[in-house]
Structure 1
Amino acid sequence: MKKHRAFILSLAAGIALASSAYAQTELTVYTAFEAVDLQRFAEAFNKDHPDIKVNWVRDSTGVMTAKLLAEKNNPKADIVWGIAATSLLILKNEGMLEAYTPKDVDKLDPRFVDKDRPTSWIGLDAYVAAVCFNTVEAEKLGLKPPKSWKDLTKPEYKGHVVMPNPASSGTGFLDVSSWLQMFGEKGGWDYMDALHENIANYTHSGSKPCKMAGAGEVPIGVSFEFPASQVKSAGAPVDIIFPEEGSGWESEAVAIMAGTQNLEAAQTLMDWTLTPNAMTALNQSFAVVALPGIAKPVEHIPADLEKKMIKNDLEWAANNRKTILEEWSKRYDSKSESKG
């Protein structure tokens, strides 16, 4: 009896110790999600997995991409979550990602899934380029709303347009890479040369141009659909315009860093991002999510938003990112806002 009791106590202690160790599992997660989104997603994950503590490290897409590359030989992150797929494709090419195919990956829209098996990254949603147009400020200046991207090069808009810097903002990079795909290389740079004449400045945040338009600081902000919806819902006199040529888009994606010491917990987070719970949380911000049948309309965003998204070659954009950014900086960086 004593031996049996000792065995039970020993087994219970082992289970308790194992449970305690797992309860203390911590993940360092690099992300570019907006802070308001991150809080909601973090709460949803914590509810489903209270045994995993997540230490979030947040910055803009361009800054996070540079940080990850700088840490290549001494990675600090266990997993990246909510960073542009084009950035993760760069990390994949550098051999920095842990190949892992999450559960139920075949249920996702294939546009959001790495083509290789096992997969190295999975897209979560699409953020789609949009123009925020302040109707009150525009009326004061006698400006009519643009219908197309090319309309933004009209002389009457000179000094009245703000857009994100593609080197620091994923939204800015999706704009630039999509224009090069839509208009061709020469046509794309010619377009950006003309647009540059009308730019007041380039911001280091993808949401900031729309917030500026909403606040009346500028009449026109090139941004993406979620901050546009937020600004309009808050009562700003903003029209949300999806240009007639189509809108570029990018996918916020998730990937596990190679060499993580917390692989099982990282896989748990990656698996969780594909669940209906996670996708429902994402849909509160994004009208297009990777899991079909989940998305419900987002306020002020057209229900047919997917039809406005261009055919986007994410791998082309990733493979040409360095060259594109070097050329863009050489031509236009003089109008970028101070990073301070």
Structure 2
Amino acid sequence: MRAGAALCAGIAVWLLGAASCFAGDRLNILCGVDEAWCMTMQQAYEARTATRINMVRKSTGEILDQIRAEKDAPAVDVWWGGTGDTHLQAASEDLLQAYTSTRETDLLPWAQNFFALSGGRAAGIYAGALGFAYNSELLGKQNVSAPNCWKDLTSPSYRGRILAGNPTSSGTAFTMLATLVQLFGEDEAFAYMKALDRNVAEYTKAGAAPVKAAARGDALIGISFMHDAVTQKQAGAPLVIVAPCEGTGYEIGAVSIIRGTSRLQEAQRFVDFALSPEGQATGFQAGQNQVPSNARASLPAGAPDLSLIKMVDYDFATFGSPAERSRLLARFDADVHPPSQ
């Protein structure tokens, strides 16, 4: 209990510091993973290198928007974490600096394939499967059946009881949108999401927020990456984690150097650390359960076994395209959930 309180207090202090402007004499990093992992990575890197860094946590869509806005005078040096298709969009817009880390040959094949797909501008650091989790205690009290499939979530019995991310800001939610298009076809996917929208109480900015709410009992069902639900379950939450019966998609989280950085060598050193077994171990140390990309890194005990999950052959090239992302988001706003709602 004391350790948990100390961690929460540490995160609060870290977030307060992150709210300040980026310092000119430090390596400036935008972080797309959970706040606890952002803080743990910052502490590990500073201890390892004696280099001070500024680490600011934002949702993936917000990071992409900031990097686009600052392309002529970047204030950020490194983008660490967040769904890989968004990194690919930035790479295709020439917002990222190519770099081949000395650690690249240690990476698993899926990460090496991702690196090649990015043109050497983004490196895979972890993988995770999409799914949902429900609060078993609430399920019993509300006397509703347990969901096992994507299409179960459109049942009227879940009206107002589901939380999901907003794909305009959340990389997790965009992965869900792209996954459904690949599973069902575009028109059926949007018809499904419109039906699901009737049951969604709120669209959150951050992708992990829905399962955190389900863990607290603030929602019955949260749609997110399964490793985020595992973290909540390990902390004692009464969650049941579901890999949808129809199949599901997955993310490759990535790290990228921002084109135009004035701290290129230090940014490269951070990427090397992020791809090392030591750097990837910070995820487990922060209570995270993604599958690390370095073959020499230890697999967290709670990491979902991706080989046992029915997965789509996720098309990172198509859904990492800025044009395709913009088109799908515009259709989501028009057909499913207008921004004013």
Normalization by structure 1: what TM-score? 0.85
Would the aligned equivalents of 1:203 and 1:336 in 2 still touch at CA under 8 Å? no
Q: What is the SS of the residue equivalent to 1:217?
A: coil
Tell me what 1:324 maps to: 328
Q: Which runs of 4+ in 1 moved over 3 A?
A: 334-337
Counterparts of 2:233 and 2:256, CA distance in 1: 33
Q: What is the SS of the residue equivalent to 2:257?
A: strand
Cα 1:196/1:79, change in 2 over 3 Å: same
Pairing 1:59-98 to 2, within 5 Å after superposition: 59-98=58-97
CA RMSD of aligned residues (A): 2.1
Pairing 1:102-121 to 2, within 5 Å after superposition: 102-112=101-111, 113-115=114-116, 119-121=120-122
Tell me what 2:27 maps to: 27
Residue type of the partner of 2:48? D
Tell me what 2:43 maps to: 43
Aligned length: 311
Counterparts of 1:335 and 1:232, CA distance in 2: 32
Unpaired runs of 5+ in structure 2?
1-23
More divergent stretch after superposition (24-33 vs 167-176):
24-33
Counterparts of 2:183 and 2:298, CA distance in 1: 27
Deviations 1:193-221 (A, max 9, x none): 22122222211111111121122222111
How far the C-alpha of 1:333 sits from its partner, in A, is 2.8
Counterparts of 1:335 and 1:27, CA distance in 2: 35
Tell me what 1:8 maps to: none
Cα 1:118/1:70, change in 2 over 3 Å: closer
How far the C-alpha of 1:25 sits from its partner, in A, is 6.0
Pairing 1:245-324 to 2, within 5 Å after superposition: 245-284=246-285, 285-299=288-302, 301-302=303-304, 304-308=305-309, 309-319=311-321, 320-324=324-328
Q: What is the SS of the residue equivalent to 1:166?
A: coil
How far the C-alpha of 1:41 sits from its partner, in A, is 1.3
How far the C-alpha of 1:262 sits from its partner, in A, is 1.0
Q: In percent, how many aligned pairs have the same letter?
A: 32
**Between Structure 1 and Structure 2, whose CA radius of gyration is higher?**
1
Cα 1:155/1:290, change in 2 over 3 Å: same
Counterparts of 2:41 and 2:86, CA distance in 1: 21
Would the aligned equivalents of 1:202 and 1:336 in 2 still touch at CA under 8 Å? no
Q: What is the SS of the residue equivalent to 2:320?
A: helix
Counterparts of 1:335 and 1:78, CA distance in 2: 31
Unpaired runs of 5+ in structure 1?
1-23
Residue type of the partner of 1:327? R
